[in-house]
Amino acid sequence: MECVSVPVRSRYHPIVTTLRDHGTTPVAMLTCPIRPEHRYPPRDLALRDMREANGRDPETGNGDGNRSWIGLSLAMTVLDSLSGGTGEPAGTRWTRLLTGHDISEPDAAIIYTLRCSLLHGYGFPKPAATFDRVLLLSGDLNAYALDTDDDGIARVSVSVFCSRLVERIAAEAIDGWDDSLIDTRHLSSQ
């Protein structure tokens, strides 16, 4: 899958568009309980794994979270799953998913670029790919999921990104998930 930059109208925008995703903002979260029959929808498995890697309760999502790159990578996988089928370019699907959940096009492009950088190179995107912004990751609990208020900097609070932005979108976009079941008894640790 090729990652391509999504065109946007302006280089800088001085407004935080993830205002709904602040560390102090409560958010509805899906409950993903242990199932005795060991059959789970992919949504539940993805959310449980993201939460656990992020240092939160896998079933409820409760907890502060941490700045784990693995948790952030799994958060991108959750968003990937929600972005829809493969009939159109991934960047287009991502932009539609994020802008449909109150994130601006420029911020959606930064998040998508981070996703590509993490999942394809396990590193940070170059500033040229994020509108000449240096992307900084933190574990700040009293921050926005993505803060682009400062020219030249894009700050992502990993804990807030996972525990607020991704959880909010997953709860709001519940109908976008694959409804097949995965039998975890067939997953082996050997």
pTM for the model: 0.86
Residue 137, domain extent: 40-177
> Does residue 159 belong to any structural domain of this protein?
yes
> Does residue 82 belong to any structural domain of this protein?
yes
Task: For residue 153, list its beta bridge partners.
Answer: 134
> Does residue 121 belong to any structural domain of this protein?
yes
Q: What is the pLDDT along the chain (190 residues), one digit of tens a residue?
A: 455 444 443 444 445 667 788 888 899 999 999 999 988 888 889 999 999 999 999 999 999 999 998 999 999 999 988 888 778 898 999 999 999 999 999 999 999 999 999 988 888 899 999 999 999 999 999 999 999 888 899 999 999 999 999 999 999 986 666 778 888 887 755 5
Instruction: Please name the amino acid found at residue 110.
Output: I
| Whole-number Å distance between alpha carbons of 126 and 133 | 8
> Does residue 27 belong to any structural domain of this protein?
no
